[in-house]
A and B are shown apart, each in its own frame.
Chain A
Amino acid sequence: AQSVTQLGSHVSVSEGALVLLRCNYSSSVPPYLFWYVQYPNQGLQLLLKYTTGATLVKGINGFEAEFKKSETSFHLTKPSAHMSDAAEYFCAVTQTGYQKVTFGIGTKLQVIP
Chain B
Amino acid sequence: DTAVSQTPKYLVTQMGNDKSIKCEQNLGHDTMYWYKQDSKKFLKIMFSYNNKELIINETVPNRFSPKSPDKAHLNLHINSLELGDSAVYFCASSSSGTGDYTFGSGTRLTVV
How many chain B residues touch the partner (CB < 8 A)?
Answer: 24
Q: Are B97 and A97 in contact (CB under 8 A)?
A: yes
A residues with CB within 8 A of B? 32, 34, 36, 38, 41-46, 49, 88, 90, 92, 94, 96-103, 105-106, 108
Q: Are B40 and A44 in contact (CB under 8 A)?
A: no
In the assembled complex, the CB of B53 is this many whole angstroms from the nearest CB of chain A, namely 11
Q: Are A99 and B97 in contact (CB under 8 A)?
A: yes
Does chain A have a CB within 8 A of B105? yes
Task: Identify B103's interface contact among A45, A99, A102, CB under 8 A.
Answer: A45
Q: Are B41 and A42 in contact (CB under 8 A)?
A: no
Residues of chain B within 8 A (CB-CB) of A92 are 99
Q: Are A103 and B43 in contact (CB under 8 A)?
A: yes
10 tightest A-B CB contacts, nearest first: A43-B103, A94-B99, A103-B43, A97-B97, A44-B103, A106-B41, A43-B105, A32-B99, A101-B99, A43-B104
Does chain A have a CB within 8 A of B1? no
Does chain A have a CB within 8 A of B64? no
Residues of chain A within 8 A (CB-CB) of B103 are 43-45
Complex Cα gap A45–B56 (Å): 22
Complex Cα gap A94–B97 (Å): 9
Residues of chain A within 8 A (CB-CB) of B41 are 38, 88, 105-106, 108
Chain B minimum-CB-distance residue to A92: B99
Task: Identify A44's interface contact among B42, B56, B90, B98, CB under 8 A.
Answer: B90
Residues of chain A within 8 A (CB-CB) of B4 are 43
Chain B minimum-CB-distance residue to A105: B42
Residues of chain B within 8 A (CB-CB) of A88 are 41
Residues of chain B within 8 A (CB-CB) of A94 are 99
Residues of chain B within 8 A (CB-CB) of A32 are 98-99
Chain B minimum-CB-distance residue to A97: B97
Complex A-B: 9 CB contacts under 8 Å? A38-B41, A43-B103, A44-B101, A99-B56, A99-B96, A101-B45, A101-B99, A103-B43, A105-B42
